[in-house]
């Protein structure tokens, strides 16, 4: 067999391997279907999936909301989880997707200023504080406790995650950030990574949100005075790039409905105001005058 033939066969094999790798990566990045969901082919044929960028801190609460909505409507919801800033950078680069759910509204304000977000729906709030092992073995009661030599402190990166950014902004205002940053053993990409470090014992304390502890029964939240006003405002943004505008706004209103999405947010430890917006029974019709109204109204 000539070298040319061998080279050609090798190239074919390489292309095949790359195609297999891309197919595998695409499947790995998809949100796994829940029991009872329509078959993937049927769902994609019936309607285009809604794509949402969601902060890792909201994953535990968004999943049951997604599952409930898919069961009720048959509409497929694709979710990409990650740090708030990383997701913002991605949607700004791609101009693709329908909804953006960061861990703090400040990212939506930035996105709206850049022409990426059309509408913002307030949902809930989270308190920034300290997570520790249940029983608080290190006796963390104030910010000064975190500076002790025997305390391994981790927190989310201020340049990637909302919790880290909020903590840095508040502690900078009081002149305490430099000391806390110096005492930090490691910066993580998300508050979930921070919480996991404390859970497995690789850290004694972590700066994170109170709401993330819903899934961590072995941990407890310590509210400290220095972070008393460090609050993450959770809101949902409807993206200008949405190609399924009626369906996207319908799902957004479902998330913001008092007896639907907000009920689940409350169950997961988020602070939800009784006066939060939302419809008790979301309808497919959209209010006249909204830029996301049905095509017949535009």
Does 273 count as an annotated binding residue?
Answer: no
Contacts from 212-219 at CB under 8 Å and sequence distance 24+?
212/57, 212/60, 212/126, 212/131, 213/131, 213/269, 214/60, 214/61, 214/268, 214/269, 215/60, 216/131, 217/134, 218/133, 218/134, 219/131, 219/132, 219/133, 219/134, 219/195
Tokens representing 183 are 């005492």
| Residue 57, marked binder | yes
* 107 assigned binding-site residue: no
- 3-class DSSP assignment, residue 163: helix
Binding site annotation covers 235? no
CB 153 within 8 A of CB 206: yes
How many beta carbons lie within 10 A of that of residue 38, not counting itself?
A: 16
Strand partners, 188: 156
Report the distance separating Cα 103 and Cα 122, nearest Å: 12
Is 84 annotated to bind ligand?
Answer: yes
Which positions make up the binding site for molybdate?
Answer: 57, 84, 163, 191, 209
Which positions make up the binding site?
Answer: 57, 84, 163, 191, 209
């Amino acid at each position: 067999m000539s070298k040319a033939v061998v080279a050609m066969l090798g190239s074919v094999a390489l292309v095949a391997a790359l195609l297999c790798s891309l197919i595998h990566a695409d499947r790995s990045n998809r949100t796994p279907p829940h029991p009872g969901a329509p078959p993937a082919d049927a769902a994609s044929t019936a309607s285009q999936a809604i794509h949402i960028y969601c902060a890792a801190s909201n994953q535990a609460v968004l999943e049951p909301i997604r599952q409930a909505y898919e069961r009720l409507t048959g509409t497929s919801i694709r979710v990409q989880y990650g740090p708030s800033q990383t997701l913002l950078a991605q949607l700004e680069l791609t101009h693709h997707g329908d909804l953006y759910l960061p861990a703090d509204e400040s990212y939506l304000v930035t996105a709206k200023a850049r022409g990426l977000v059309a509408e913002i729906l307030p949902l809930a709030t989270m308190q920034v504080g300290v997570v520790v092992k249940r029983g608080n073995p290190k006796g963390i009661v104030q910010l000064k406790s975190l500076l002790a030599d025997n305390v391994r402190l981790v927190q989310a990166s201020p340049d990637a995650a909302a919790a880290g950014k909020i903590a840095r902004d508040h502690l900078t205002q009081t002149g305490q950030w430099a000391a806390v940053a110096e005492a930090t053993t490691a910066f993580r990409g998300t508050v979930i990574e921070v919480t996991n470090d404390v859970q497995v014992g690789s850290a004694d304390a972590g700066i994170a949100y109170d709401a993330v502890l819903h899934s961590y029964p072995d941990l407890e939240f310590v509210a400290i005075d220095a972070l008393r006003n460090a609050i993450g405002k959770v809101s949902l943004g409807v993206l200008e790039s949405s190609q399924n505008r009626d369906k996207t706004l319908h799902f957004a209103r479902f998330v913001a409905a008092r007896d639907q999405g907000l009920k689940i947010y409350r169950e997961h430890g988020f602070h939800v105001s009784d006066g939060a917006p939302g419809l008790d029974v979301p309808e497919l019709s959209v209010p006249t005058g909204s830029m996301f109204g049905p095509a017949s109204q535009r």
